[in-house]
């Protein structure tokens, strides 16, 4: 499978790239600043010919269009897109104090980014038997479990859930699966050290969903990394 993963240089994106490479897939690893790619360089050499690290800022439509053009020119089919890049701004900030720029930026990265990625990569997903779009969301985006905090992040994740459902309906007849996925509270820069979850376990669960090794209700659009439905 050819898999595009955004925000691949650290955290869950890195673990997704590692898990997918270990299972023999080819990964186009989107990295915002390749000069700060960190451990990704080592991963590229560890899996020769399997991981291609490309410059990709999900807020820069030109960088996304450039990637799509390159893949098109190389006649590379995209089997799966994992919209993983995300930011959490304004954690614990009261609405009375909230800089509205944090809301705008959160929507830019967590919603507009994935939408632009799909806008440019969907045409490369025609054909093939098992194609999927996995949008990494969060339980914070659940409307029924809204906890009254982290406004920019939570609301942008609710929006990516809606985008996922909309897209699922939009591509229904093309046989492309679409899910918004809660990866669990995991130890990454975003999740922090107190997080109980292991990002490698979460990443392997998500790749299982991609490989259809887990049964996931086809009507659900918001699930966790084990494929279980999440409260909307």
Binding residues (CB under 6 A) for ligand NDP: these are 6-7, 9-13, 32-33, 57-59, 84-87, 109, 113, 136, 138, 182-183, 185-186, 188-191, 195
Q: Residue 5, SS3?
A: strand
DSSP type of residue 109 = I
Nearer to ligand NDP, 68 or 136 (CB): 136
The count of residues in the chain is: 232
Nearer to ligand NDP, 171 or 190 (CB): 190
Nearer to ligand NDP, 34 or 128 (CB): 34
Positive or negative, the CA dihedral 153, 159, 162, 167 is negative
Shortest Cβ 24–ligand NDP spacing (Å): 23
Shortest Cβ 138–ligand NDP spacing (Å): 4
Measure Cα distances from 34 to 53, 55, 199 in Å.
8, 6, 22
Name the residue among 40, 11, 30 with its Cα closest to residue 198. 11
Q: Which residues contact 40 (CB under 8 A, 6 or more apart)?
A: 8, 9, 14, 17, 29, 31, 51, 53
Shortest Cβ 223–ligand NDP spacing (Å): 13
Shortest Cβ 166–ligand NDP spacing (Å): 18
Shortest Cβ 80–ligand NDP spacing (Å): 16
Nearer to ligand NDP, 128 or 190 (CB): 190
Nearer to ligand NDP, 90 or 113 (CB): 113
């Amino acid at each position: 499978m050819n898999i595009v993963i955004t925000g691949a240089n650290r955290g869950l994106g890195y673990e997704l790239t590692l898990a997918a490479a270990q299972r023999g897939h080819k990964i186009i690893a989107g990295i915002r600043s390749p000069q700060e790619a960190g451990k990704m360089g080592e991963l590229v050499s560890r899996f020769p010919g399997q991981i291609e690290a490309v410059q990709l800022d999900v807020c820069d439509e030109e960088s996304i269009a450039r990637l799509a053009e390159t893949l098109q020119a190389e006649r590379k089919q995209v089997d799966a897109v994992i919209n993983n890049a995300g930011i959490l701004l304004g954690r614990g900030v009261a609405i009375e104090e909230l800089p509205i720029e944090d809301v705008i930026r959160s929507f830019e990265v967590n919603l507009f980014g994935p939408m632009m990625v799909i806008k440019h990569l969907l045409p490369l997903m025609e054909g093939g038997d098992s194609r999927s779009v996995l949008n990494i969301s969060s339980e914070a985006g659940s409307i029924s479990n809204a906890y009254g905090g982290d406004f920019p992040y939570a609301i942008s994740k609710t929006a990516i859930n809606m985008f996922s459902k909309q897209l699922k309906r939009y591509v229904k007849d093309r046989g492309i699966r679409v899910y918004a996925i809660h990866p669990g509270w995991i130890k990454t820069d975003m999740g922090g050290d107190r997080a109980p979850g292991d990002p490698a376990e979460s990443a392997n669960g998500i790749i299982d969903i991609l490989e259809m090794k887990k049964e996931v209700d086809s009507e659900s659009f918001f699930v966790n990394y084990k494929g279980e439905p999440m409260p909307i």
